[in-house]
């Protein structure tokens, strides 16, 4: 069984560990604090038990088989050794991430994939100092990854040609839904859309157009339900008449108020 390494055992790291274990991979999850690992493994077991109770287990393995596939460690070298895929999940602090990547870089197999769960920092800032920067790609998940499948993939400017296809295939194999971020941009795609929405929400509250409770209802009972099934462009197309008649690519220009 192939092995993956998860660096950082918080909510994101735990979800990644569960995803790979459900898909049949051996997982080593690392954290600098022993208690963090103990708490992470306990939480993972509890989640698996709950998922089994409600009939929502992923993959074909039992909860016990999945749990046994996940091993905790406080030894970074042991975590990384033999891993085909490494997912870093430390806090969104540039120098911290660069420091962790440098340590991993000295240990990893040169053919392994090194990824970061970074949500705002661009790949070139994260890996410019690495020997294996050609194997670096950001895999920004939707939080929490186990329950929300979208993953934004942003390869470094130095990435090998096979890196993006390999990572895309791996994400699909573990049940995720990967999209490609074609150029470096702060915040990636999901966060930029999310914060554009929040800006307008704050504006509507500030102008006393709607209450906070009713604005949340607009999302939970309206747009949220629609966008859970189809995106904004598919929605616009379907709203434009039979077979999308009347829909124009530049119709976005009419969206300013």
Q: How far apart are CA 223 and CA 231, in angstroms?
A: 10
| Range list for CATH 3.40.50.720 in the chain | 3-180
For residue 144, what pLDDT is reported? 87
Distance of CA 28 to the CA centre of its chain: 18
Distance of CA 216 to the CA centre of its chain: 25
Q: DSSP class of residue 98?
A: H
DSSP string, 45-68: HHHHHHHHHTT---SSS-HHHHHH
For residue 144, is the peptide bond before it cis, meaning its omega torsion is within 30 degrees of 0?
Answer: yes
SS3 annotation, 99-160: HHHHHHHCCCCCCCEEEECCCCCCHHHHHCCCCCHHHEEEEEECCCCCCCCEEEEEECCCCC
From CA 58, how far away is CA 25, in angstroms rounded?
13
β-pair partners for 116: 88, 138
Tens-of-pLDDT digits for all 257 residues of the chain? 799 999 999 999 999 999 999 999 999 999 999 999 999 999 999 999 999 999 999 999 999 999 999 999 999 999 999 999 999 999 999 999 999 999 999 999 999 999 999 999 999 999 999 999 999 999 999 998 999 999 999 999 999 999 999 999 999 999 999 999 999 999 999 999 999 999 999 999 999 999 999 999 999 999 999 998 898 888 888 876 655 555 555 555 555 55
Query: Which CATH architecture is the domain 3-180 placed in?
Result: 3-Layer(aba) Sandwich (3.40)
Look up residue 187 and give its DSSP letter.
T
pLDDT at 41: 98
Prediction pTM value: 0.90
């Amino acid at each position: 069984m192939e092995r993956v390494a998860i660096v950082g055992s918080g909510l994101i790291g735990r979800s990644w560990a569960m995803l790979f274990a459900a898909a049949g991979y051996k997982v080593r999850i690392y954290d600098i604090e022993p208690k963090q690992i103990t708490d992470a493994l306990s939480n993972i077991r509890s989640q698996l038990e709950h998922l089994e109770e409600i009939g929502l287990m992923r993959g074909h393995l039992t909860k016990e088989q999945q749990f046994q596939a996940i091993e905790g460690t406080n030894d970074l070298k042991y975590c990384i050794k033999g891993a085909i895929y490494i997912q870093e999940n430390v806090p969104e602090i540039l120098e911290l991430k660069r420091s962790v990547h440098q340590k991993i870089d000295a240990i990893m197999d040169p053919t392994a994939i090194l990824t970061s769960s970074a949500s705002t920092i661009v790949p070139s800032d994260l890996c410019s100092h690495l020997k294996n920067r050609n194997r670096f790609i950001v895999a920004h998940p939707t939080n929490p990854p186990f329950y929300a499948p979208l993953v934004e993939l942003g390869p470094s400017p130095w990435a090998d040609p096979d890196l993006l296809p390999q990572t895309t295939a791996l994400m699909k194999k573990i049940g995720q839904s990967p999209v490609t971020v074609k150029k470096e941009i702060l915040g990636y795609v999901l966060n930029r859309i999310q914060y554009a929405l929040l800006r307008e929400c704050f504006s509507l509250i500030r102008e006393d157009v709607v209450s906070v409770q009713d604005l949340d209802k607009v999302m939970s009972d309206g747009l949220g339900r629609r966008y859970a099934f189809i995106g904004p462009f598919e929605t616009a197309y379907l709203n434009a008449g039979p077979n999308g008649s009347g829909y124009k690519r530049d119709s976005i220009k009419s969206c300013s108020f």
